[in-house]
Amino acid sequence: MNDLHAIAARLDEAARQAVPIAQLAPDVALSLEEAYFVQRASIERRISRGERTVGVKLGFTSRAKMIQMGVDSLIWGWLTDAMLEEDGAQLALDRFIHPRVEPEVCFLTRRDIDRPLTLLEAAQYLEAVAPALEIIDSRYQDFRFSLEDVVADNCSSAGLTIGPWTRSFDGLGNAGVVMRVNGRVVQTGSCAAILGDPLRSLVQVSHLLSQSGLMLPAGSLIMAGAATAAVSLRPDSHVHCIVNGIGSTEFITHRGSS
Ligand code: OOG
Ligand code: MG
């Protein structure tokens, strides 16, 4: 029997101290169900310290990410208020282990999501969409994990910036994405890389929540998943992401303490 609460505590501490732990698999083989239990238990620890969930994120919604990380299924995790950074923020890197950044879009929901949605009705559940940058930081050594390991680790969630919200969803399905670091283009892609259309992320979230017997309240954030592979974050970097027709978001990293 795996002690799921003990695993949640180890992962939570690893994140708090910014010190990695050994990968769980193959020594500790969690089922996917157990992995989501660990994820929930680690979020409960954050909530008991005063953090608040603000929405959910999807992972591995693009081929580029699946190939980069060697996994082949979609996963989901929780976003808390402590992960939200101001657009344009200056971020100290010492609170992370080996952070990476990836370009995404973020949705703001307009209605409770309490049942499985179809693609046709998805847009009616949205208030707005914004360009986003996600900082992921696996709590496992060398950023290596099995699918169950990364689920237990709340899908490597660590931080995000969100650009200005817009209500124009036209063109989102195939909007071009460019991520720059210090002016140099490091990733290019299209929102079509996200399940063929990022709106499908909303559909997937609705199905995943309903399978778990959960409801997402109106006013929640949904990170659709990265459109391209992630890039390692270094100090003194200006990271900028533009999503054509939607907008841009950015942040600056520094070595110092937070
Ligand atoms: C897991 C998180 C994946 C995405 O957008 O695909 C993810 C990881 O790559 O460490 O956030
Ligand atoms: Mg992501």
Q: Tell me the C-alpha distance between 107 and 216, whole Å.
A: 13
Residue-level pLDDT at 43: 98
Neighbours of 126 (CB within 10 A): 17
Residue owning the nearest CA to atom 7 of ligand 1 = 59
Dihedral sign for Cα atoms in the order 109, 114, 118, 121: negative
Give the pLDDT of residue 258: 64
Please calculate the CA angle 214-60-131 and round it to the nearest 5 degrees.
85
> Which of these, 32, 225, 14, lies nearest to 23 by C-alpha position?
14
CB-side exposure of 246: number of CA atoms within 13 Å?
A: 32
Which pLDDT belongs to residue 127?
A: 98
pLDDT tens digit string along 196-209? 999 999 999 999 99
The first and second tokens of residue 240, run together, are 């900028």
Residue 1: pLDDT band with limits 50, 70, 90: low
| Amino acid in the structure at residue 235 | P
pLDDT digits (tens, 9 = 90+) for 23-74: 998 889 999 999 999 999 999 999 999 999 999 999 999 999 999 999 989 9
Which residue's CA is minimally distant from atom 8 of ligand 1? 156
Atom 1, ligand 1: residue with shortest CA distance: 155
Distance from Cα 72 to the centre of ligand 2, integer Å: 15
CA distance 197 to 227: 10
| Across 179-207, average pLDDT | 97
Q: Residues 6 or more apart from 193 whose CB is under 8 A from it?
A: 62, 63, 64, 227, 228
Q: Is 201 in the pocket of ligand 1 (CB under 6 A)?
A: no
**Average of pLDDT values for 94-111?**
98
Q: Is 226 in the pocket of ligand 1 (CB under 6 A)?
A: yes
Q: Which residues surround ligand 2, an ion (CB under 5 A)?
A: 134, 226
Residue 56 in contact with ligand 1 by CB distance below 6 A: no
Q: What is the mean pLDDT of residues 147-152?
A: 97
Which residue is closest in CA terms to ligand 1's atom 3? 59
Q: Give the C-alpha separation, 30 to 47, whole Å.
A: 23
- Closest ligand by atom to 150 CA: 1
Mean pLDDT, residues 80-94 taken together: 97
- Cβ neighbourhood burial of 92 (10 Å; 0-12, 13-18, 19+): middle
Ligand 1 proximity of 113 Cβ (cutoff 6 Å):
no
- The closest alpha carbon to 152, from 75, 52, 91, belongs to 75
Q: Is the CB of residue 42 below 6 angstroms from any atom belonging to ligand 1?
A: no
The predicted pLDDT at position 39 comes to 98
Q: What is the mean pLDDT of residues 1-28?
A: 94
Q: How confident is the model at residue 117 (pLDDT cuts 50, 70, 90)?
A: very high
Of 106, 19, 8, 10, which is closest to residue 57 (Cα–Cα)?
A: 106
CATH match for 4-254 among 3.30.450.40, 3.90.850.10, 3.20.20.10, 3.10.450.50: 3.90.850.10
The answer on pLDDT for 22 being more than 80 is yes
Return the percentage of the chain with pLDDT > 90, whole number: 95
**Is the distance from the beta carbon of residue 155 to the nearest atom of ligand 1 less than 6 Å?**
yes
The DSSP bridge pattern shows strands 126-136 and 157-162 to be: antiparallel
Atom of ligand 1 nearest to the CA of 61: 6
pLDDT at 25: 87
The angle, 0 to 180 degrees and rounded to 10, between the axes of the packed helices 32-48 and 4-17 is 50
* Per-residue pLDDT at 64: 96
Is the C-beta atom of 156 inside 6 A of ligand 1? yes
Query: Mean pLDDT over all residues of the chain?
Result: 96
Give domain limits for the chain: 4-254
Under DSSP, the state recorded for 73 is: S
**How far, in Å, CA of 170 to CA of 164, rounded?**
16
77 in ligand 1 pocket by Cβ < 6 Å? no
Counting from 1 in the atom list of ligand 1, the atom nearest the Cα of 143 is: 10
Q: Is the distance from CB of 119 to CB of 257 less than 8 angstroms?
A: no
